[in-house]
Amino acid sequence: MNLVFDPWLTVRWRDGGVRTVRPAEIADPEALDLVAPRADFRGALFQFLLGLLQTAFPAEDEDEWLERWETPPSVEYLEKAFSAWAPYFFLQADGPAFLQDTKPGADFAAKDVRELLMDLGSVSNLHFNKPDGIKGLCSVCSATALYTIQANAPSGGSGHRVSMRGGGPLTSLLVPQADKGQAATLWQRLWLNVLSQEIMRQPGGRFDGQAAKDILPWLVATRSSEKKDGQTTPDHAHALQAYWGMPRRIRLDWENTVAGRCDLCGKTSETLLSRYRTRKHGVSYLGWQHPLTPYYHDPNKEDPPSAVKGQSGGISYRHWLGLTLGSNDKQPEAALVVRHFLKERWGKLGKDFRALVWAFGYQVDKGGMKALSWSDSTLPTYHVAPTQQEALALEVGRLLEVAQEAAKLLHRAVKSAWADRPGDLKDEPAIGQSFWSGTEPLFYGALEALTQTTGLEGPALLATQRQWLTGIRKTSLDLFDDWVTGEYEKDWDIERTVKARVELEKWLSRAKPMNALWKSIKQQEASV
C-alpha cells in the first residue's frame, strides 16, 4: 500500500456519505472530515496529512498561504505535488518503508500486533477498543497504528525511546467554525494548521534544502541511540522531521499474516498483520519543539522545553490560557500553530472568523510506560488585538489562580467533613472535576466580557473580577453542600461538617489569590 497514491483515508462528505479516498482528495470542496475507528487514530490521521502538506505542498510565505486558503488547489494539482514524495511512502517494501527501520536484523524481537496500540494495558478507557482481543490488523489500521505509536510513544523500558515530544504529548490543532451555516471543509480544517516556510524557519533548527533523507528518517540507516551521546537534536535533521519522528525501531512483518476481519475497523482482508519486529535504541530526540504542541519552558533556560502532556481529568477551561494565548511566563507556551493564528492570521481572515482549539492526547502513568486515558476536547478562541493579548493573558491568569485555589479548598473541606482524619482519605478527583465543570459557564462569561472593546479597562474589568470572585465562592459552597449531604455522603457528622464549611467560607475570601484580587478591586474603586 502506498500512503500517497492509494485510497485509504475514510472521509465524511457534505451529503452525509462516507467513502475511502486518496490523500489528494482532501482538496475536494465536498470533503468535510476524517473518520477513524478510534479517537487516537483520528488525531493521528490529521497529523499525518498535516505532515504531508507541510512537506510536499508548503506555502513559501503567508501571502501564498492565504491564496491557497481562499482558492484551494484542485485534486489533480495537489496529487501532482504529492507525487514526488510517493516513492517514500510505501507501507510494505524490500527497502525503506514508511516509519520503519531499514535493516531489521536477527536481534529484532517479534511482538504481537496489539502491542502497536498505545492503550495496551489500560485498565479503564472508554475511548478505545480493548486491545487484548486484537489478533490481526488491516493495512490501513496497521499504518495508522504505526504513525500513532511513533508520534506518541511512551517509555517502553530501558532503551525504548519516547516520542520526539515525550510520552503522551498533547496536540493542539485549530478547527474553523461554520461560516453562515456552511460547514468548514476538510481542506480548511487542515490548511488552517499548515505553517508557511517563512514561519517554519525558526532559529535553532535546520531548514536547508528539501533533501528527503533529512526529513524522513526511514530513508537512511536508523540514527541509533545506543551511545550516551546518541541524541538527535534539531541541528542533526531538517526541521520538518518534527512531523515524521521515528523513536521506535519497528518493522512490520508481512511474512506472517492471517486472513479474516480487521479487529479494529472490521474490514475483510487476506493479509491481516499479526505481528511486527522491534529492537531498542531508536532515534532519541532532544530539544525539538513540535509546531502542533504547547511547551513548558525552564525559567532558568538550563533545560530544553518540555511538551505539555495529556491531562488527568481531561481538558477544561483551566487549560484555556496555556492552550490559546499561552501564559506570560511561558508555563506553558501555546503551540506555534495556535500562537501564529492568534497573532497574525486572524487579522487576515477577518474579525468574524471563528475557530476552536482542538486539544487531544494521552495521559500516561508516572513511569511513562502505560497510557491511562485519552483527553479530547475543544476550547473557544476570542478575537483580541495582538497588542491586547498580553493584558488579557494577565487578567485570565489572575482568574485562573483564584479558581485553582478554590478547587483545592473545596477538596480539602469536603475531606474534612467526611472524616476526623481527612489525611487518611484518598484524594477524590471527582470533587475537582465537579468544580471545573460547575464553574465553566462562569469562566466563559468572564472571558466574553474581558474580550469586549473596553473589557480590560476600568469599571468593566472591575465588574468582571467582582462577579468572578462572588461566583466562585457561591459555586464552591454549593458544591460542598452537595458532596457532604447528598448522595456522596460518607460518615456524616454535623459538627464536623459545619466546622469544615466555616473554614471553606473563610479561606474563599482570605486565601492569597482571592485576597490579592479583592485588594486590587478595592484600591481601583477607591481611586476612581
Check pLDDT > 80 for residue 202.
Answer: no
> 395 and 272 share a domain?
no
> 283 and 392 share a domain?
no
Query: What is the residue range of 223's domain?
Result: 9-306
> 45 and 178 share a domain?
yes
| Average pLDDT value for residue range 160-180 | 90
> 299 and 432 share a domain?
no
Check pLDDT > 60 for residue 487.
Answer: no
Task: For residue 113, tell me if it sits in a domain.
Answer: yes
Query: Average per-residue pLDDT in the chain?
Result: 90
> 99 and 237 share a domain?
yes
Q: At what angle do helices 386-418 and 440-450 cross, to 10 degrees?
A: 160
List Cβ neighbours of 432 (8 Å cut-off, separation of 6 or more): 313, 407, 410, 411
Task: For residue 366, tell me if it sits in a domain.
Answer: no
- Phi first, then psi: what are they for 369, rounded to 5°? -105, -15
pLDDT band at 490, cuts 50/70/90? low
- Cell representation of residue 382: 476570542
Query: What confidence score (pLDDT) does residue 125 get?
Result: 47
From 289, 306, 323, give the residue that closes a domain: 306
The 10s digit of each residue's pLDDT in 304-314 is 889 998 877 78
pLDDT band at 208, cuts 50/70/90? low
- Cell representation of residue 54: 507541510
What separation in angstroms does the CA of 343 have from each of 26, 179, 202?
A: 27, 21, 16
pTM beyond 0.85, yes or no: yes
- Cell representation of residue 13: 462528505
Check if the beta carbon of residue 285 is closer than 8 Å to that of residue 232: yes
From 268, 290, 306, give the residue that closes a domain: 306
Query: What confidence score (pLDDT) does residue 31 get?
Result: 97
> Minimal CA–CA distance to 78: which of 24, 39, 40?
24
Task: For residue 290, tell me if it sits in a domain.
Answer: yes
> 391 and 302 share a domain?
no
Task: For residue 378, tell me if it sits in a domain.
Answer: no
Task: For residue 496, tell me if it sits in a domain.
Answer: yes
Within 333-381, where are the H helices? 336-340, 346-349
Check pLDDT > 80 for residue 158.
Answer: no
> 110 and 209 share a domain?
yes
Task: For residue 355, tell me if it sits in a domain.
Answer: no
Query: What confidence score (pLDDT) does residue 124 get?
Result: 44
Distance between CA atoms of 88 and 90, rounded to whole angstroms? 6
Pairing of strands 109-112, 18-21: unpaired
Task: For residue 376, tell me if it sits in a domain.
Answer: no
Query: What confidence score (pLDDT) does residue 351 get?
Result: 77
Lowest average pLDDT, out of 127-131, 183-187, 340-344, goes to: 127-131
- Phi first, then psi: what are they for 407, rounded to 5°? -60, -40
From 276, 306, 336, give the residue that closes a domain: 306
- Domain holding 416: CATH number? 1.10.132
> 43 and 156 share a domain?
yes
- Cell representation of residue 505: 467560607
Distance between CA atoms of 225 and 216, rounded to whole angstroms? 17
Distance between CA atoms of 142 and 90, rounded to whole angstroms? 12
Q: How many domains does the chain have?
A: 2
The 10s digit of each residue's pLDDT in 74-118 is 999 999 999 999 999 999 998 999 999 988 877 889 999 988 998
Query: What confidence score (pLDDT) does residue 300 get?
Result: 84
Between the two ends of the chain, the Cα-to-Cα distance in Å is 71
Check pLDDT > 80 for residue 401.
Answer: yes
Query: Dihedral of CA 64/69/74/77: which sign?
Result: positive
List Cβ neighbours of 264 (8 Å cut-off, separation of 6 or more): 37, 38, 41, 129, 134, 137, 138, 141
Query: What confidence score (pLDDT) does residue 44 get?
Result: 97
Per-residue b/e over 332-355, b at no fewer than 16 CB within 10 Å?
Answer: bbbbbbbbbbbeebbeebeeebbb
Check pLDDT > 90 for residue 365.
Answer: no
The CA-based angle 481-487-490, given to 5 degrees, is 80
Task: For residue 130, tell me if it sits in a domain.
Answer: yes
Point out which residues pair with 238 in neighbouring strands: 206
